[in-house]
Amino acid sequence: MSQGSNFVDYVKICCRSGHGGAGSAHLHRDILTSKGGPDGGDGGRGGHVIVKGNAQLWTMLHLKYRKHVIAGDGDSGGSSLRSGKTGRDEILEVPLGTTVKNAETGEVIFEITKDGETKILTPGGRGGLGNWHFKTATQQTPRFAQPGEDGREDWNILELKILADVGLVGFPNAGKSTLLSVVSAAKPEIADYAFTTLVPNLGIVSYRNNRSFVMADIPGIIEGASQGKGLGFRFLRHIERNSVLLFMVPADTTRTIKQEYEILLHELKEYNPELIHKPRVLAVTKSDMLDDELQAEMAKELPDGVPAVFISSVAQRNLDGLKDLLWKEINANVI
């Protein structure tokens, strides 16, 4: 289970931004000037807590034990209109596909989807204005300045949803991990029992003419996953960001192919109705155990309105046909 212990897709973290530095109330004095005017500089801004996308990360393991993130305070302003130093920013690097929410309200604050993309999560307090800002015709030597603004403290939730071109959808033992291991260089854990895959696995699938696409093996759904049964919510949210959904139903299912497909579709719809608008492809796996006559009979009873293909990952049967179908769907809506 080493892969499971390293995959962290949810952290709750307290972010405290820095206080702004106070403005200076200094009056100019030197060897020639005993009663000069105001020359107090502005206080420095408090440090922000910033979230930054990093395409090299695929987990939030590095943030798992970091419960408090505290940015630096801004320095006070000085004489001769010198501004105080800005407080130290704290930058949280996250995988692409990270959603940031307010922990109390559940409100989505923003999402990070691009490498290098930065967003300010908790802004630092503004620095106070120095006394030279308050000089007027009637008040030539103000002896006061603004204090800096307080920083903010918020509890936030960072939640990862895997970004991929194709998401594999199916019950445990549908052959998702096997397919990923055959068509890409990914090496997911594979065994003949339910819930072998406890974390999403990503693989890059090579296609014709040196092209490629990203496939995600999402852990198996069970009936009731949309109500949170099993690890339902944790699994289902990773499907939200996939461009195309590849439904996988084994040829030896105890139900009909259509029944199993419709149960999977129902779970997705219950969790998030938007998911059923994504392009879908159906792969009937383990089809090496079918003869031509039986496959022809089963083909007549496949669900309507979804492109379907019979494959076998172990026998490497019709995998090029599957890739062609997926490539077509991935690029169908690309302008």
The Cα 273–Cα 112 span in angstroms is 23
Q: Do 185 and 295 share a domain, yes or no?
A: yes
Terminal-residue alpha carbon distance, the chain: 42
The Cα 55–Cα 260 span in angstroms is 35
Q: Do 137 and 169 share a domain, yes or no?
A: no
**Model pLDDT, residue 189:** 46
Domain interval for residue 156: 1-160
User: What predicted TM-score, i.e. pTM, was given to this entire model?
Assistant: 0.66
Reference 257, options 331, 205, 215, 310; nearest CA is 310
3-state secondary structure of 103: coil
Amino acid at 107: E
Q: Do 137 and 180 share a domain, yes or no?
A: no
In tens, the pLDDT along 139-173 reads 988 999 999 999 999 999 998 877 678 988 888 77
Q: Do 106 and 179 share a domain, yes or no?
A: no
Q: Do 106 and 200 share a domain, yes or no?
A: no
**Token pair for 146:** 């603004």
Q: Do 136 and 189 share a domain, yes or no?
A: no
Q: Do 182 and 155 share a domain, yes or no?
A: no
Q: Do 12 and 130 share a domain, yes or no?
A: yes
Name every residue whose Cβ is closer than 8 Å to that of residue 106 and which is 6 or more positions away in sequence. none
In tens, the pLDDT along 50-91 reads 999 998 887 888 898 889 999 999 999 999 999 999 999 999
Say what percent of the chain tops pLDDT 70: 86
The number of beta carbons lying within 10 Å of the beta carbon of residue 227 is 12
Q: Of 97, 127, 160, which marks where a domain is finished?
A: 160
Q: Of 135, 160, 185, which marks where a domain is finished?
A: 160
Q: Do 1 and 137 share a domain, yes or no?
A: yes
Q: Do 53 and 178 share a domain, yes or no?
A: no
Which of 4-8, 236-240, 255-259, 319-323 has the lowest average pLDDT?
Answer: 4-8
Q: Of 114, 133, 160, which marks where a domain is finished?
A: 160
CATH number of the domain that 18 lies in?
2.70.210.12
Q: Do 177 and 106 share a domain, yes or no?
A: no
Say what percent of the chain tops pLDDT 90: 48
Domain count for the chain? 2
Q: Do 151 and 288 share a domain, yes or no?
A: no
The Cα 258–Cα 254 span in angstroms is 11
In tens, the pLDDT along 282-318 reads 999 999 888 888 889 888 889 988 999 999 998 999 9
- Encode 36-67 in three state secondary structure: CCECCCCCCCCCCEEEEECCCCCCCHHHCCCC
